A and B are shown apart, each in its own frame.
Chain A
Amino acid sequence: MDLTWMAWTWPTAALFVFIFASIALMGVLEWKFPGGAPRRGILGLDTTRGDRLFLSLLGSAFIFLGWLGLMGTPLWGFLAIAAAWSAFVFWKV
């Protein structure tokens, strides 16, 4: 199958591998440690593990845009803030 039209690059492939691996990880976690029923976090939302992953990724996308718009490259700061945001979401939200 010729996939040249999709114009793959290693960084974008890594991004999607990361996203799909994260989704798979949620499945494995649920299988290993059941109990992924919704819980109420500090934002007053009932979230499952999948919801928290979605919020982490969506939030990270906005952190990326915000960092790039205000600070520009390099993106280490973005990575740190996005990691902190994701940890916060999984821990508290």
Chain B
Amino acid sequence: MATKTDNQKAWFFVLPVVVLVAFNALIPLMTVVNYSVQETFGNNLFFWEGVGWFEQVLHSERFHAALGRQLMFTGIILAIEIPLGVAIALTMPRQGPWVPVCLVLMALPLLIPWNVVGSMWNIFALPEIGLLGRAINAMGIDYNYTQQPLAAWFTVILMDVWHWTSLVVLLAYAGLISIPDAYYQAAKIDGAKAWAVFRHIQLPKMKRVLTIAILLRFIDSFMIYTEPFVLTGGGPGNSTTFLSIDLVKIALGQFDLGPAGAMSLIYFVITLLVSWVFYTLMTRDDPK
């Protein structure tokens, strides 16, 4: 049961954040809502369109395809990064001189800017000059991510796994080292096997951080733009054109601000829904 307080002064401390959010989120969002019901040809001239753009986007095969690709991408990277991150965290030492080494190694990919990651992998995976591309081709596999959709998907996923698994590792590791030794000693006395220790001690204790990891990775991968844009430019064809890449193509490439506004809002409410579900799951068991 939550207790209520009569001290309302805290509102003034919240005020700067409210102003900041208003400027960097609320006003742009309002503008997008305004754009989504109008047509413009530039020069700040707008013509009323109603809900037509929403209808167009909802029935657009292009949007369905981009949304499908986006969901598939997010699903695949979550299915790889979360178990892999937990597995790596489990193998990391809990104490000793190797702890800082492991932590720094894990943190390295996270420090590299998105566009640099994209450029690195762009060259690394090129079939003629890239180490990865040449190695795969040397093994007798025909691999060229600039021409084969499957190879492009493989490269984009591998790049994301390389870039972001560390985040899951670090979060899972933080959850793991917070487990008191007494739990492990009790498990040892009971003769628990490694799997039982993982299932009944480590996993429940990591639940909170893993939910945060899934939420962060979901939101980040669902709005991924820079890395695939730099790596594949959404190609070959449209095979790696995810939602945000398609959105930018419509808004800035074609200057169709109306449909882009409608698409942004649909994109926004999907993200909001999933974030709400995760947030609710995360805080449901909190003591009130």
Contacts and interface: CB of A to CB of B under 8 A. Distances in A.
Contacts of B34: 6-9, 12
A45 interface: yes
A16 B2 contact: no
Interface in B273-288: 273, 276, 280, 284, 288
Interface of A: 4-9, 11-12, 15-16, 34, 37-38, 44-46, 54, 58, 61-62, 64-65, 68-69, 72-73, 75
A6 B48 contact: no
Contacts of A16: 30, 33
Interface of B: 1-2, 4, 27, 30-31, 33-35, 37-38, 40, 44, 46, 48, 50-51, 54-55, 58-59, 266, 269, 272-273, 276, 280, 284, 288
Given A7-B46, A46-B288, A61-B269, A12 B33 contact: yes
A37 B4 contact: yes
Contact of A6 (B1, B27, B50): B27
A9 B51 contact: no
A9 B38 contact: yes
B176 to A, nearest CB: 29
Given A5-B44, A45-B284, A73-B51, A15 B1 contact: no
Nearest to A4: B44
B280 A62 contact: no
Contacts of A15: 33
B273 A38 contact: no
Contacts of B51: 68, 73, 75
B284 A62 contact: no
Given A9-B34, A16-B30, A58-B276, A38 B2 contact: yes
A54 B4 CA distance: 21
A34 B4 contact: yes
B1 A37 contact: yes
Nearest to A47: B280
B4 A62 contact: no
Top 4 A-B pairs, shortest CB-CB distance: A69-B58, A7-B34, A7-B46, A61-B269
A65 B44 contact: no
